[in-house]
Structure 1
Amino acid sequence: MEYITLGRTGLKISRMGFGGIPIQRIDAESTKALIRQVADAGVNYIDTARGYTVSEEWLGGALEGIRDRFVLATKSMARTREAMEKDIAISLGNLRTDHVELYQIHNPSLADMDTVFGPGGAMEALLAAKAEGKVGHIGLTAHSKEVFAAALEHEEIETIMFPYNIVETQGEELIARAAEKGVGFIAMKPLAGGAIEDATLALRFILANPNVSVVIPGMADPAELTQNLAACEDRSALSAEETAKMDAIRKELGTNFCRRCNYCAPCTVGISIPNVFLFAGYLNRYGLGDWARSRYAGLPHKASDCVECGVCETRCPYQLPIRQMMRKAAQDFGE
């Protein structure tokens, strides 16, 4: 296993981490067995979140007795100081620890950033928790380039998590800028929400970029761990054949895959188009039906609200048939 320093945090982490979303598909005992295998394989970075239902709790149980072998990262959707204080306390309780090495602001919008960093915002709680030793370092996750860029202007932010994979390379310039500023970069969605079937190729592409600190494929099965380890331990140069395969994947998915750039916004009737497609991806690819439906149910405007005006399609840089995709999402979710 290759190890790297996570930006300016000083944390020494494995370049492949453990993504904690999919363990929702298994159970607590299976999670314990899997995390033991993860530890024995030399993977020492674990990613979870307050929003991943049982993920924090099951990981907390799995980490008992081996907590000191891991760099633990979680995240919260809280935007105010009060809400963040509450979430930090819940996270520590769920994870059965007195501290986490990295606590992240989970996917804020540009408008949210003003709240997070303003008076009474979530950053106040994170800085206080850092001073108390409950939080080692502070990071942020994003799905839009604008939020990524804005986060780089805040010195408090030591890491940024952003989608990066064979078909989502829109953040490469920002990833390079993050490296220049000493901000650790965490690559999420390495398989593009499951759209990329060749996991080995996907991971090799990501880790070929020296500006990527760590990639966090989600795993719920020992076979997935074995396959991913082999991919990440192969540090040979990408071959011409692999490059050709990546070009083919881009050609295929580039015509019908939402990359969540958000250029389609604003929707005429207020639908969060990228989130609809994100949750549809979890429903159809990750096998996380209940989780996807619960998140979809929380959207104020559903796919069925689409009036098919087509304005979004004129803004999409990938010429996606958004109206057609929205109809399918409405059918899949039943609303």
Structure 2
Amino acid sequence: MEYRELPHGGEKISVLGLGMGYISGTTEEIAEVIRTAIKNGINYFDLAAAERAPYVGYAEAFAGQRDKIYTQMHFGATYENGKYGWTRDLATIKRVFEWELDLFQTDYTDMGFIHCTDDMDDLQTIKRNGIWDYMKELKAEGKIRHLGFSSHNPEVARRLLDTGMMDMCMFSINPAYDYEKGDEYGIGEVQERARFYRDCESMGVGISVMKPFGGGQLLDAKLSPFKQALTKNQCIQYALDRPAVMTVLPGIRNMQDLEEILSYAKATAEERDYSVIGNFTPQKAYGTCVYCNHCQPCPAGLNVGLINKYYDLAKAGDIMAVGHYQKLNRHADDCIKCGHCEARCPFHVKQETRMEEIAVYFKQCDK
């Protein structure tokens, strides 16, 4: 296993980590998967799940091995009803954190992350209602070793970097989200994302990567915006080659998924080589939203790229994406069908029809 050193702190973090969003099975099965991961050198674990049940399996696996692992806990994810929820209520956040510490029999988390901050209004809420002050207090007490955040939005993420207090962040990185084909297609958020990675590196802020496979879309030619499948090893290597990246956190379901991820450590250079993406032409992506936000600003205030991203992730089985969509200030049914986005889209996506489809989908999720 390869390890990378966190600039602020010096922790040696495995380049392969694990997300727990998709894991399932009995407590014993989950515990065995995590023990196997640790035996194979994985030491970094994100602790945001689709439901509460897997936590017990993780706790059993972590028992007696606290000095071998790094935990990434999210302040704003809640499981008080058994399923994943999202909150900005300070009392709830405090209650969840104390529950996690008690369950894992520890008195600290290595990484304390503001959970899923994707818009400016939400960032202001975090500052106003005491969440940020609470986390800084925990940092001073040693209950959080490193402050950080998770986000899908490079503009918001950059604002958090500007606090000068961040040591780590969680960001979605893969070839589809970073899509670019020459200067002609250096559009929208593409350069902003690249600049964010470089800023993290220059500021000594590490990145843990979520969604390395684009919610599974990049592994399926029918779903990929490139109309061609990539392998897991190609996607992992792509993420690891971005500036500031410490570790890649694929979501796994079971032991088979873990074994597939671990195969990266033994993969040849040819098996990891992702240079094939240089052959993907923009025309191959026509009709598919790649979340570039070249359509911004939307006259109705919609974050078109983020709405599309949450929709695609939700359809691919990411339960947490539903909650992330619901907390947006503007939703698909707020579309006024003015034609602005379709006129500006370089990939000719029919967003007005797409917004109708997305609105129906998420309304069904509310039932």
With normalisation by structure 1, the TM-score equals 0.83
C-alpha distance in structure 2 between counterparts of 1:95 and 1:45, whole Å:
15
Q: Cα offset for 1:82?
A: 4.6
For 1:151, the equivalent position in structure 2 comes to: 160
For 2:311, the equivalent position in structure 1 comes to: 280
Q: Cα offset for 1:83?
A: 5.0
Match of 1:187 among 209, 213, 216: 209
Is the counterpart of residue 75 in structure 1 residue 74 in structure 2? yes
Q: Cα offset for 1:307?
A: 4.5
Q: Cα offset for 1:253?
A: 4.6
1:1-335 aligned within 5 A: 1-23=1-23, 25-49=24-48, 52-54=50-52, 55-77=54-76, 79=88, 82-108=91-117, 109-117=119-127, 121-169=130-178, 170=190, 171-197=193-219, 198-209=231-242, 211-234=244-267, 236=269, 242-245=274-277, 247-248=279-280, 252-253=284-285, 255-259=287-291, 261=293, 264=296, 266=298, 268=300, 273-274=304-305, 276-285=307-316, 287-288=317-318, 303-304=332-333, 306-314=335-343, 316=345, 318-333=347-362, 335=364
Q: Cα offset for 1:7?
A: 2.9
Percent of residue pairs bearing the same amino acid type: 24
Q: Cα offset for 1:282?
A: 3.4
SS of corresponding position for 2:280: helix
CA deviation string 1:228-287 (max 9, x = no partner): 222245473788x7412464397645741343759646562x6664454344323332x3
Aligned in 2, Cα 1:26/1:303: closer, same or farther, shift over 3 Å?
A: farther
On the 8 A contact 1:167/1:253 being kept in 2, the answer is no
Letter matched to residue 41 of structure 1: N
CA deviation string 1:296-335 (max 9, x = no partner): 6666765455453333434556543222322333454564
Q: Cα offset for 1:142?
A: 1.4
On the 8 A contact 2:168/2:205 being kept in 1, the answer is yes
Letter matched to residue 156 of structure 1: M
CA deviation string 1:86-130 (max 9, x = no partner): 342233234443211001011222233334345x53121112112
C-alpha distance in structure 2 between counterparts of 1:251 and 1:221, whole Å:
37
292-301 vs 75-84, which moves further: 292-301
Q: Cα offset for 1:196?
A: 0.6
Q: Cα offset for 1:178?
A: 0.8
Aligned in 2, Cα 1:275/1:207: closer, same or farther, shift over 3 Å?
A: closer
Q: Cα offset for 1:151?
A: 1.6
Q: Cα offset for 1:201?
A: 1.2
On the 8 A contact 2:237/2:274 being kept in 1, the answer is no
C-alpha distance in structure 2 between counterparts of 1:250 and 1:26, whole Å:
41
CA deviation string 1:147-176 (max 9, x = no partner): 121122112111122111112223222112
For 2:186, the equivalent position in structure 1 comes to: none
On the 8 A contact 1:267/1:273 being kept in 2, the answer is no
Aligned in 2, Cα 1:205/1:296: closer, same or farther, shift over 3 Å?
A: closer
Q: Work out the number of aligned pairs and report it.
A: 328
C-alpha distance in structure 2 between counterparts of 1:98 and 1:250, whole Å:
50
C-alpha distance in structure 2 between counterparts of 1:135 and 1:283, whole Å:
31
With normalisation by structure 2, the TM-score equals 0.76
79-88 vs 134-143, which moves further: 79-88
C-alpha distance in structure 2 between counterparts of 1:117 and 1:283, whole Å:
29
Over aligned residues, Cα RMSD in angstroms?
Answer: 3.2
C-alpha distance in structure 2 between counterparts of 1:218 and 1:295, whole Å:
17
C-alpha distance in structure 2 between counterparts of 1:174 and 1:298, whole Å:
24
Aligned in 2, Cα 1:83/1:333: closer, same or farther, shift over 3 Å?
A: closer
55-64 vs 138-147, which moves further: 55-64
On the 8 A contact 1:279/1:296 being kept in 2, the answer is yes
Letter matched to residue 30 of structure 2: T
Q: Cα offset for 1:68?
A: 2.8
Q: Cα offset for 1:74?
A: 1.5
Structure 1, unaligned runs of 5 or more: none
C-alpha distance in structure 2 between counterparts of 1:124 and 1:249, whole Å:
47
C-alpha distance in structure 2 between counterparts of 1:100 and 1:215, whole Å:
19
